[in-house]
């Protein structure tokens, strides 16, 4: 049981050797292994953090893109609505203009139809008036009226202005044939008055022929080449009826 | 009951050197630890198995225990304290193996460990604070306390050696007495107590050594914290 110096010294040496062995073979390698594993874990965590950061970045980028898309979509929708509104207003304006134009055309057509109807009515009225006048004048026509009309013709022919008289003479020519148609038979005096007036207007001798046409009602009609002079009631009534056309 | 069964005895006498059974057991423990560490180091991997996990747990546990006492000097103190703990646990439990006895039942072995602790305290203290600052703490707060400091140093070293020796010696003695008196089955609870006591004594010895070293390092810590070039 006693104290032994050799054991004491050798125990000290042995322990120091054991300290060296455990430090070299246990503490350093085990701590190195732990440190390696810790670094690997740190690397994995860093990688995970990097992945998370990348995911966050991608998410932020996606959000930004989505916001951009939303803005673009909103702007495009606003542009589209603006374009549609402009197009609608343009089409409405076109339609309004078309409606106005058609309304104006309809008004013109309506006015034209109304004028046509009025004119037709007037023509009918004039025709009726002419027919009525012809029947009435046909009942009251007689040689006296015939005479008055011949006198009126002679008076008018004699009162022609110089310009018309020269035109009349140029159309009649020298020695032209003149056909005189009357509703009633002209007596020699009347014929002579008419022939003198015509010869005087033509400023030269003419050849005359006579015919009767009761359709003239009263008065006469003179055919001198291309020139026709009407001094009878039927032609006057026809003039009256044609004046409304 | 033969005395060789209870007390350490000389196996071989090589001139002035007496090779006791406790020293032989210490050599055997050293050899086993060396072989175990060599095999372990060869099989260290980044995907640790149960054995590697257990060893890493032991090392990290010891490191954490030291860090709680000496957070700034873990790497410096760890090899010594770790070796102390591991050697004492194995040495204290070696008595459970039939034919072997705990080396710590030999006062020469415990005195050697206590002397190593005594020297390491001053070694780490001087390395940490410098010789002058370290020696100055024996004169504080008053030079009158110097004899008491010296007595304290010697007495606690002696206490370390005697405490470990006395406890392990008594454990072995009680176990042998029970085996001698009551046969094989009765001592089993006492053997369980042996395990607990062996672990407790290893822990106490190592923790006291750590506390002594920490007190030496931290004696002038506020003054020595800034000038690290004093070492």
State ipTM: 0.87
Closest CA to B105 of B16, B192, B176: B176
The string of DSSP letters for B27-65 reads HHHHHHHHHHHHHHHHT--SS--HHHHHHHHHHHHHHHH
Rounded Cα–Cα distance for residues A113 and A136 (Å): 33
Where do the domains of chain B lie? 3-230
Residues of A in contact with B87 (CB under 8 A): 15, 18
pLDDT single digits (tens) B94-116:
888 888 888 888 888 999 999 99
Surface of B (54-73) touching A: CB under 8 A = 55-56, 59-60, 63
Rounded Cα–Cα distance for residues B135 and A153 (Å): 175
Give the model's pLDDT for residue B70: 87
Assess whether pLDDT exceeds 70 at residue B3.
no
A31:B59 CB<8 A? yes
* Cβ–Cβ contact B209 with A under 8 A: no
Q: Confirm whether A78 is domain-assigned.
A: yes
Q: Confirm whether A32 is domain-assigned.
A: yes
B112:A40 CB<8 A? no
Rounded Cα–Cα distance for residues A21 and A39 (Å): 26
Q: How far is B144 from chain A (nearest CA, A)?
A: 34
A97 phi-psi bin (left φ>0, alpha ψ -120 to 50, beta other): alpha
Number of domains in chain A: 2
CB B33 within 8 A of CB A22: yes
Q: Confirm whether A136 is domain-assigned.
A: no
Q: What is the mean pLDDT of chain B?
A: 83
Which residue on chain B is closest to A8 by alpha carbon? B108
Among the residue ranges A55-59, B8-12, B149-153, the one predicted with the least confidence is B8-12
Give the model's pLDDT for residue A68: 94
Closest CA to B88 of B106, B124, B107, B113: B113
Q: Confirm whether A109 is domain-assigned.
A: no
CB A190 within 8 A of CB A152: no
Assess whether pLDDT exceeds 70 at residue A70.
yes
pLDDT single digits (tens) A94-135:
999 999 998 888 888 888 888 888 888 888 888 888 888 888
Residues of B in contact with A21 (CB under 8 A): 30, 33-34, 37
Q: Confirm whether A228 is domain-assigned.
A: yes
* Cβ–Cβ contact B192 with A under 8 A: no
Give chain A's end-to-end CA distance (angstroms, integer): 168
Rounded Cα–Cα distance for residues B164 and A53 (Å): 58
Rounded Cα–Cα distance for residues B157 and B111 (Å): 8
A7:B41 CB<8 A? no
Q: Confirm whether A47 is domain-assigned.
A: yes
What CATH number is associated with residue A217?
3.30.360
The string of DSSP letters for A113-137 reads HHHHHHHHHHHHHHHHHHHHHHHHH
Instruction: Give the confidence band of B83 by pLDDT, cuts at 50, 70, 90.
Output: very high
Closest CA to A179 of A157, A202, A207, A156: A207
B44:A26 CB<8 A? no
**Which structural domain, as residue segments, surrounds residue A212?**
141-243
Q: Confirm whether A114 is domain-assigned.
A: no
Rounded Cα–Cα distance for residues B23 and A6 (Å): 9
* Cβ–Cβ contact B33 with A under 8 A: yes
Taking residues B122-141, report their average pLDDT: 85
């Amino acid at each position: 049981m006693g104290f032994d110096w050799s054991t004491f010294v050798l125990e000290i040496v042995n322990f120091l050797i054991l300290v060296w062995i455990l430090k070299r073979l246990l503490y350093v390698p085990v701590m190195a292994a732990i440190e390696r594993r810790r670094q690997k874990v740190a690397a994995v965590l860093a990688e995970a953090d990097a992945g998370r950061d990348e995911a966050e970045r991608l998410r932020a980028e996606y959000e930004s893109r989505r916001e951009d898309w939303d803005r673009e979509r909103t702007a495009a929708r606003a542009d589209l609505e603006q374009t549609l509104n402009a197009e609608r207003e343009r089409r409405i304006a076109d339609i309004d203009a078309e409606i106005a134009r058609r309304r104006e055309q309809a008004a013109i057509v309506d006015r034209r139809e109304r004028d046509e109807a009025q004119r037709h009515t007037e023509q009918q009225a004039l025709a009726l008036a002419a027919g009525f006048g012809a029947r009435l004048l046909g009942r009251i026509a007689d040689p006296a009226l015939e005479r008055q009309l011949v006198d009126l013709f002679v008076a008018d022919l004699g009162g022609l202005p110089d310009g018309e008289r020269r035109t009349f003479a140029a159309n009649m020519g020298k020695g032209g044939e003149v056909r005189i148609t009357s509703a009633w038979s002209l007596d020699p005096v009347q014929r002579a008055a008419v022939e003198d007036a015509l010869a005087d207007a033509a400023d030269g001798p003419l050849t005359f022929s006579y015919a009767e046409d009761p359709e003239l009602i009263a008065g006469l009609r003179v055919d001198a080449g291309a020139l026709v002079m009407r001094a009878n009631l039927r032609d006057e009534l026809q003039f009256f009826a044609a004046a409304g056309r | 009951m033969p005395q060789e069964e209870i007390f350490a005895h000389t196996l071989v006498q090589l001139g002035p050197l007496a090779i006791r059974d406790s020293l032989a057991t210490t050599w055997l423990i050293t050899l086993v630890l060396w072989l175990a560490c060599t095999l372990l180091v060869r099989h260290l991997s980044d995907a640790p198995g149960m054995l590697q996990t257990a060893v890493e747990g032991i090392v990290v546990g010891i490191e954490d225990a030291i860090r709680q006492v000496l957070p700034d000097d873990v790497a410096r103190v760890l090899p010594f304290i770790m070796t102390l703990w591991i050697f004492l646990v194995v040495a204290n439990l070696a008595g459970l193996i039939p034919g072997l006895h705990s080396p710590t039942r030999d006062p020469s072995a415990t005195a050697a460990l206590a002397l190593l602790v005594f020297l390491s305290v001053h070694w780490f203290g001087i390395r940490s604070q410098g010789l002058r600052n370290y020696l100055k703490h024996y004169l504080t707060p008053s030079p009158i306390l110097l004899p008491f400091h010296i007595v304290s140093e010697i007495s606690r070293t002696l206490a370390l050696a005697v405490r470990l020796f006395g406890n392990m010696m008594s454990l072995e003695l009680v176990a042998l007495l029970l085996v001698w008196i009551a046969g094989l089955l009765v001592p089993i609870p006492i053997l369980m107590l042996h395990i607990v006591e062996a672990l407790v004594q290893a822990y106490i010895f190592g923790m006291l050594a750590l506390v002594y070293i920490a007190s030496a390092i931290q004696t002038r810590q506020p003054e020595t914290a800034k000038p690290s070039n004093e070492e």
